[in-house]
Amino acid sequence: MGTVTNFEELYIWQISREFCKDIFRIINYEQFSKDFRLKDQIRAASGAVMDNIAEGFERGGNKEFVQFLYIAKGSCGETRSQLYRALDSKYITDEELNVLKQKAIHLSQSIGNFIKYLKQSELTGSKYKK
């Protein structure tokens, strides 16, 4: 395993970015785009996943990084809950919910696994292993 020097190299950040793009796609649906509150909430929550991964990494310390990863994981759950609200409002289909829900679950599990890795790791500084 190599050393990660930029958060962009982290798998969890890469998949959170893709998840965020998926959310941006659905919030542009005609009906969804008119629900300003839900649209803004889900956009903020999905963006918070990737942003907290990046911010935690840039802090340079293992303990702080883990704290930000927990926040990112929570935002992932928040986004998943908001997807149900979008379904209930008929902004997305059951199929879209299931695809996005599975992506959110995978992302959350990946973040959880990385948290576990960092907690068991002897790494304490600004360079993390892939």
User: What pLDDT score was predicted for residue 127?
Assistant: 52
Place of tokens 């304490």: 124
- At a CB cut-off of 8 Å and minimum separation 6, what does 82 contact? 38, 41, 42, 45
User: What pLDDT score was predicted for residue 116?
Assistant: 95
pTM, to two decimals: 0.90
pLDDT along the chain (130 residues), means of 10: 80 98 97 97 98 94 94 98 98 98 98 94 62
Cβ atoms of residues 120 and 130 within 8 Å: no
pLDDT tens, residue by residue, 63-78: 999 999 999 999 999 9
What residue segments make up the domains of the chain, in order of their start? 3-120
Picking from 45, 43, 44, 65, the residue whose alpha carbon sits closest to that of residue 55 is 65
CATH class of 3-120: mainly alpha
User: What pLDDT score was predicted for residue 122?
Assistant: 77
